[in-house]
């Protein structure tokens, strides 16, 4: 029977330790593809029995990952409980007090027993949380408004463009209220704070639009990490289903949202797959509107990636017709600084 004194920190730069760790994860049913981001882990813990690694757990940011226990040492869940308690203690020492975990639905009850609350569950993935914040608290901070027709738009806005404005304007013209959720993820060029501010400034004339941060519950590194890797594979598709289901069952239900607007995606296979998942998961309760992308007078599709490319090249004259004046002035000032 193991306890906290049996916990050791694992240093995965050591190839011998890494091979043991990886073999344990593979034996536990974790896919090789999922293990490839081990270099980004903040800390990994393990339990040994006679020099054999029999249990492990890791964390990255505030997400608990890679929990595995050898079949012989599952002992009614005791080793599992010791590992989870140890990683929570390690995270708390780094002043992390909100814990999120992805797991298979059959392990939900094990985490519920430890005090985790289920955020969302799909046939393949369950997402749970515990700590000093929750989806309930996040939702309670969002203003609820009266109106028969409420829509939602989720955007990265990296940065906010005329294409984003066009999408929101169409939704605002056809609904009583529109919630615009801006992804909460620090980007290389534009911070979350700046992106949120640019969206607020760009939409301030639309009086039936509410701009919010997506927090940890809408396409975030916690609940949809592969979105930011831009990989279109089976793991990403499973996370898309989680994100769409979470939006439908928790966020849209709470806010009485009946429509979601997205731009069509001719360039990114990842975003195109995500739109397809939304069209599969959200109806009939939530209608998905896919709008053609806004173009410049030169018939060029407006995209944030094109804006970033021109900005980095110092070609501000190319940007002027792709972004609102508020975004242009921000980019101009930022470039001058």
Assess whether 302 and 155 both reside in one domain.
Answer: yes
Range of the domain at 166: 135-334
Burial label for 48, CB within 10 Å (0-12, 13-18, 19+), is middle
- Cα(231)–Cα(233) distance, rounded to whole angstroms? 6
Assess whether 58 and 153 both reside in one domain.
Answer: no
Any domain includes 233: yes
Assess whether 20 and 65 both reside in one domain.
Answer: yes
Assess whether 86 and 227 both reside in one domain.
Answer: no
Any domain includes 107: no
Assess whether 190 and 309 both reside in one domain.
Answer: yes
Output the six-digit token pair for 78.
């005791």
Q: Which of 98, 125, 145 is the last residue of a domain?
A: 98
Any domain includes 152: yes
CATH number at residue 12: 3.40.630.30
DSSP 226: G
Q: Which of 98, 119, 150 is the last residue of a domain?
A: 98
* pLDDT of the chain, 337 residues: tens digit per residue: 787 888 999 999 999 999 999 999 999 988 887 787 788 899 999 999 988 999 999 999 999 999 999 988 887 789 999 999 999 999 999 999 999 998 889 889 999 999 999 999 999 999 999 999 999 999 999 999 999 999 999 999 999 999 999 999 999 999 999 999 999 987 778 999 999 999 999 999 999 999 999 999 999 877 777 665 555 578 888 889 999 999 999 999 999 999 999 998 766 778 889 999 999 999 999 999 999 988 877 777 888 989 999 999 999 988 998 999 999 999 999 888 7
Number of folded domains that form the chain: 2
User: What is this structure's pTM?
Assistant: 0.91
Q: How do 259-263 and 150-155 pair as beta strands?
A: parallel
Any domain includes 129: no
């Amino acid at each position: 029977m193991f306890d906290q004194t049996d916990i050791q920190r694992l240093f995965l730069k050591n190839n011998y330790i890494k091979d043991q760790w990886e073999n344990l994860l593979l034996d536990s049913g974790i896919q090789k593809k999922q293990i490839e981001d081990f270099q980004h882990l903040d800390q990994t813990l393990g339990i040994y029995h006679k020099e054999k690694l029999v249990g492990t757990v890791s964390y990255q940011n505030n997400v608990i990952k890679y929990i595995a226990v050898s079949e012989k040492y599952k002992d009614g869940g005791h080793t599992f409980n010791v590992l989870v308690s140890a990683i929570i203690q390690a995270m708390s020492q780094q002043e992390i007090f909100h814990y999120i975990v992805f797991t298979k639905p059959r392990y939900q009850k094990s985490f519920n027993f430890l005090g985790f609350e289920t955020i969302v569950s799909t046939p393949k993935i369950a997402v749970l949380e515990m700590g000093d914040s929750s989806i309930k608290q996040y939702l309670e901070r969002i203003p609820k408004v009266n109106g028969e027709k409420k829509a939602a738009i989720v955007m990265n806005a990296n940065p906010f463009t005329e294409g984003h404005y066009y999408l929101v304007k169409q939704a605002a013209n056809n609904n009583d209220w529109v919630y615009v959720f801006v992804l909460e993820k620090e980007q290389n060029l534009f911070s979350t704070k700046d992106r949120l501010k640019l969206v607020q400034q760009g939409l301030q004339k639309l009086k039936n639009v509410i701009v919010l941060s997506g927090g940890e519950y809408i396409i975030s590194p916690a609940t949809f990490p592969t979105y930011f890797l831009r990989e279109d594979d089976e793991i990403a598709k499973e996370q898309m289903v989680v994100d769409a289901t979470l939006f439908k069952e928790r966020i849209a239900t709470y806010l009485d949202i009946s429509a979601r607007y997205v731009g069509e995606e001719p360039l990114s296979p990842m975003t195109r797959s995500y739109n397809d998942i939304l069209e599969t998961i959200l109806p009939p309760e939530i209608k998905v509107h896919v709008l053609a992308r806004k173009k410049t007078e030169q018939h060029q599709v407006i995209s944030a990636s094109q804006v970033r490319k021109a900005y980095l090249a110092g070609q501000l004259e190319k940007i002027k017709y792709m972004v609102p004046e508020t975004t242009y002035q921000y980019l101009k000032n930022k470039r001058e600084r």
